């Protein structure tokens, strides 16, 4: 199987790095295109077997899967440029907010298309990746699931849930980082060195996530275990709620869907 990745930015580059660390695709079967060389050089430095090019047409020439990782406003231009063969090639688009119906107005509507939304942790094989399919067989769905499952948690969902789920996972990683950033600043104000504070907070976030993922428990139950009546945690929790913490998170998630 040969894969072309069009766009070597935050997403395309991270997917390329994730793919070469997996077992499903050999690095020599991956071609990444980008108009400029800097980001391509980074990929080649990571694994010299990855093919790189400045030409999208060159990248897709023998590809079975075409991963489209350009900004939304470039989708039409790039798809018209590459003239994909929809009988032989499958489109895997990571572009957020462009629907299957939209693609049907640009390429042959009989094309097999996957909308795939990872998050930036894909470069560390720790992504949450959402996958929706269009005109795909079960084998094709399984193939895409297998490829992205090597790079974290991959979930097949209905396109109708894509926007909401993108907000939780792909935008959501930024909201978690925002919490970490704020907590580190609190630590620094209280006299902890930034690097130490960052390690403390990041590991606490990882621990919280693992409690939920490994024990299949509920956040409220885990919070209850931390919270001593009359103790210090409840003071902080109540301050969060006085400041509208839960409401702010809910509003952020809904704003970015």
Ligand X SMILES: NC(=O)C1=CN([C@@H]2O[C@H](COP(=O)(O)OP(=O)(O)OC[C@H]3O[C@@H](n4cnc5c(N)ncnc54)[C@H](O)[C@@H]3O)[C@@H](O)[C@H]2O)C=CC1
Ligand Y SMILES: O=C(O)[C@@H]1CCC=N1
Chain residues that interact with ligand X, rule: CB under 6 A: 6-12, 33-36, 39, 56, 69-72, 74, 78, 94-96, 117-120, 170
Which of 150, 174, 151, 170 shows the shortest CA–CA distance to 162?
170
The radius of gyration computed from the CA coordinates of the chain, to the nearest angstrom, equals 21
d(CA 30, CA 47): 11
One of 170, 172, 184, 197 touching ligand Y (CB under 6 A): 170
Tokens representing residue 248 in the block: 């702010």
Give pairs for 109-114: CB < 8 Å, separation 24+: 110/86, 110/135, 111/84, 111/86, 111/135, 112/86, 112/136, 112/137, 112/140, 114/90, 114/140, 114/144
Nearer residue to ligand Y within complex by CB, 16 or 63 = 16
Nearer residue to ligand X within complex by CB, 11 or 151 = 11
Report in angstroms the alpha-carbon separations of 75 from 69, 98, 232, 237.
Answer: 9, 9, 52, 44
Q: Nearest approach, Cβ of 129 to ligand Y (angstroms)?
A: 12
Nearer residue to ligand X within complex by CB, 54 or 217 = 54
One of 166, 172, 184, 201 touching ligand Y (CB under 6 A): 166
d(CA 144, CA 129): 11
Contact by Cβ (8 Å): 101, 115: no
Tell which positions 89-108 bind ligand Y, by CB under 6 A: 96
What residue 56 binds from ligand X, ligand Y, none (CB within 5 to 8 A, per partner kind)?
ligand X
What residue 94 binds from ligand X, ligand Y, none (CB within 5 to 8 A, per partner kind)?
ligand X
What residue 198 binds from ligand X, ligand Y, none (CB within 5 to 8 A, per partner kind)?
none
What residue 171 binds from ligand X, ligand Y, none (CB within 5 to 8 A, per partner kind)?
ligand Y
What residue number has its CB nearest to ligand Y? 96
Positions touching ligand Y (CB under 6 A) are 96, 166, 170-171
């Amino acid at each position: 199987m040969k894969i072309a990745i069009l766009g070597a930015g935050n997403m395309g580059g991270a997917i390329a790095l994730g793919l070469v660390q997996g077992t499903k695709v050999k690095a020599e079967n991956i071609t990444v295109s980008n108009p400029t060389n800097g980001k391509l050089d980074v990929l080649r430095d990571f694994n010299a077997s990855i093919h790189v090019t400045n030409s999208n047409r060159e990248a897709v020439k023998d590809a079975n899967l075409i991963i489209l990782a350009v900004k939304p406003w470039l989708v039409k231009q790039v798809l018209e440029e590459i003239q994909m063969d929809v009988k032989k090639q499958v489109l895997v688009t990571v572009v957020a907010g462009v629907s299957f119906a939209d693609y049907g107005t640009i390429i042959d509507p009989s094309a097999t298309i996957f909308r795939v939304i990872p998050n930036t942790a894909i470069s560390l094989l720790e992504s949450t990746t959402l996958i929706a399919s269009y005109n795909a067989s079960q084998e094709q769905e399984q193939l895409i699931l297998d490829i992205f499952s090597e790079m974290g948690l991959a979930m097949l969902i209905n396109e109708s849930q894509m926007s909401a789920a993108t907000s939780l996972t792909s935008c959501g990683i930024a909201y978690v980082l925002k919490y970490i950033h704020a907590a580190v600043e609190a630590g620094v104000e209280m006299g902890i060195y930034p690097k130490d504070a960052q390690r403390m907070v990041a590991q606490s976030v990882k621990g919280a996530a693992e409690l939920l993922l490994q024990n299949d428990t509920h956040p409220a139950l885990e919070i209850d275990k931390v919270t001593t009546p009359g103790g210090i945690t409840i003071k902080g929790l109540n301050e969060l709620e006085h400041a509208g913490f839960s409401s702010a998170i809910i509003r952020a998630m809904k704003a970015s869907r």
